[in-house]
Amino acid sequence: MDLSTKQGRREQGQRIQRAVERAGLSIEELAGRIGCSRALIYQYLSGTTLAQPDRLQQIAAECGVTLTDFYSTSEEFTPAPRRAAPAIVSPVPSSLPVALPSQEVAVRLNESLRSLQELAGAQEGPPDYRALASTCERILSLASQVGDNAVQASALLRLGNALLSIADFPRAAEALARAVAFAREIGASGTETSARQSLGQALYQLGRTEEAGVQFASIAAGADFQGRWQGTLSLGSIHEQRGEYRQAMQRFDDAANILEEGEANGTVRAEAVAVGLLYVNANRTNVYLDEGDFRGARPLAEKCLADAESLGIAGQYLEARFNLAWCDFGTGQWAHAYPALTSLLQLARFIGDQGRETMTRAWIGILLAAAGDRDAALAFGKDALAQALSRGDRRSELYAQLALADAYSGDSRRDSEARYHTTQALAVASTVRETRAEIECRLRLAHLGAQSGNPREQQDAATRALALSERLGARHLESLSRVWLAEAMLRTASTPDGADQSASLASARSEAESALETADELELAEGRWRSRSVLARILLQSASQEAEGAELRLREAVAVLENLRAALRETGIPDTLLENEDCADVYIQLGQLLQKTGRTDEASAFLEQAGWPPLMTRLTAPTEAAAPFPRGAQ
């Protein structure tokens, strides 16, 4: 029966109805026993709704039949194994075993196998990946009994892809490696190509990029058209992960050329080419994002979103929405980024895409930490980390650790916890050889050095981050690296035993101005306010005491932060930005500058207008009033 059609579902409904009648049950009794409405049972019987396997299993248990009976075309029902009952003495002598003829056993096994394959097909559309994985394991058991290696290869490929979809990467890699072996043994080149591609994806997610590259290179060099472009594209994704952006883009261009040549010579249909180019453009978008080119990434991500929707490819639809949210987060458009991420989380959960669900949770945590909502950020980060660890998802684990690091680093009393999660993230980044993520970790270590008053640690971390950023061409990370480096130089120059102060201040100013220029060009929200804040402090520390220029930079930094606060309010979530002590310090700096230049009333009015009472308390505290730098600077 074809369960994708209403007629097929109606045939299944008739089998359900016959089983219920044979069991002597009414519809009301059945509904009560399995915990659903009578109306839902009627929908199953009429074929308007496809009964899910877990619900069918309940019905089968109540009716005393097997689950496969609901997928069979036979008129007979197979009695289900009875529940445990008190032991009785069998009237059949043990010397006379009851057995079916071997031919009949083989027939029944093959019938069950066909039924399970139909069930697996039904579970693929709409997808129920966990149920599909369970069905594939049952298919494997039966296929091994009948010695059908082709069915085993196909079932292992299905099982591996189902496990990939629920982000169970270790089990997926195991199943797909077996699928490759079976496919090679029987000479099923198409199955082998598909299994190698999926195996490469599983290994990639596990951080085993060298092994993944072997699989991708194998199919990229093969004769199979699908394998050639997919393998080439995936090799590009490995280059992208390592920060080798030029090589990555070349691979993506090669994959696009293979697709276009295939369409030109009639090897592949136009729709298949459109699907392939969607994946190519999605990977190109990732490179733009890695480089901090949000303006270049946005139109490409929007194209991917439209193409994925028209082609009906759910995974790429989610990926495009995620990339657009990333653009909005980086440029400070939080009124768009936060709702986009929360709706994306719901969509990923709805379709069962656990990998993207986990990654989205991590990024919501990162956004909320930046917004100062530490409690919510911790909750999302912990959930993401638990999910990632349970499935061996190293990339999601990496960003979950960063979310937790950010949540803890917003509170100077929890530096040790922030440092722990940062070093854990750095270890994962090194394992999976993701250089851009290593830079993210180094920047957080620079932040922790600043927060704990250790300019040497801050400068070392910022210097290493800057060198990596320049090598990759990741300009947004380069801008932030220069911010932390400039502040470290400023802190060093302000110490009593500091070396040539004027030279240090000049170097710090050069770094800060370069950071500011890049941040403005990229519209990088964090870089824009951080670079202005540190530049203002450098101007105040210089020999000429450039108070006017410092005030201008601080007012510009406050304007950036006020836009972020307005964005938070627009989303309907609490305006917690000034819980982030770095952000609050910018307001305090401006208040102190106004106060020191004889404008005490203006300073009070400014901080009162900010609508954050702790700012006034900090301004009037004697220790704060005398301090030339924010916390941790001395």
Tell me the pLDDT tens digit for each residue of 130-139: 888 888 988 8
User: Strand, helix or coil at 188?
Assistant: coil
- Domain segments of the chain: what residues? 6-71, 331-433, 434-626
Instruction: Please indicate whether residue 127 or residue 595 has the higher confidence score (pLDDT).
Output: 595
Decide if pLDDT at 72 tops 80: no
- Identify the CA nearest to 64 among candidates 84, 82, 85, 44: 82
DSSP 247-276: HHHHHHHHHHHHHHHHHHTTSS-HHHHHHH
What's the Cα-to-Cα distance from 300 to each of 239, 289, 306, 524, rounded to whole Å?
20, 11, 10, 19
Give CA–CA dist 572/342, Å, rounded.
13
The reply to whether 331-433 shares the fold of 6-71 is no
Q: List alpha helices for 291-414, DSSP H.
A: 294-311, 314-330, 334-351, 354-370, 374-391, 394-409
Give CA–CA dist 378/366, Å, rounded.
9
Strand partners, 453: none
pLDDT at 594: 94
Q: Which residue has the tokens 């097997």?
A: 66
What's the Cα-to-Cα distance from 498 to each of 81, 112, 495, rounded to whole Å?
83, 81, 5
Residue 120 pLDDT level (bands cut at 50, 70, 90): confident
- Identify the CA nearest to 227 among candidates 180, 264, 178: 180
- Identify the CA nearest to 631 among candidates 594, 583, 597: 583
Superfamily of domain 6-71: lambda repressor-like DNA-binding domains (1.10.260.40)
Please say whether the beta carbons of 120 and 44 come within 8 A.
no
Amino acid occupying residue 90: S
Contacts of 512 (CB under 8 A, 6+ apart): 482, 483, 486, 531, 534, 535, 538
Question: Which architecture, in CATH terms, is 434-626?
Answer: Alpha Horseshoe (1.25)
Q: How far apart are the first and last CA of the chain?
A: 76
Q: pLDDT exceeding 90 applies to what percent of the chain?
A: 57
pLDDT at 6: 75
Assigned CATH topology for domain 331-433: 1.25.40
Q: Average pLDDT, stretch 348-375?
A: 92
Decide if pLDDT at 605 tops 90: yes
Give CA–CA dist 340/336, Å, rounded.
6
Question: Which pTM does this prediction carry?
Answer: 0.72
State pLDDT tens for residues 395-425: 899 999 999 999 998 677 788 999 999 999 9
- The DSSP secondary-structure symbol of 453 reads T
Decide if pLDDT at 484 tops 60: yes
Decide if pLDDT at 220 tops 90: yes
Strand partners, 65: 79
Q: List alpha helices for 147-188, DSSP H.
A: 149-165, 169-186
Give CA–CA dist 358/366, Å, rounded.
13
For the chain, the average pLDDT equals 86
Give CA–CA dist 353/40, Å, rounded.
26
Q: Supply 558's token pair.
A: 């406050």
Decide if pLDDT at 344 tops 90: yes
Contacts of 195 (CB under 8 A, 6+ apart): 153, 156, 157, 160, 176, 179, 180, 183
Decide if pLDDT at 63 tops 80: yes
User: Strand, helix or coil at 94?
Assistant: coil
Give CA–CA dist 358/180, Å, rounded.
28
Contacts of 83 (CB under 8 A, 6+ apart): none
pLDDT at 4: 64
State pLDDT tens for residues 524-548: 999 999 999 999 999 998 867 789 9
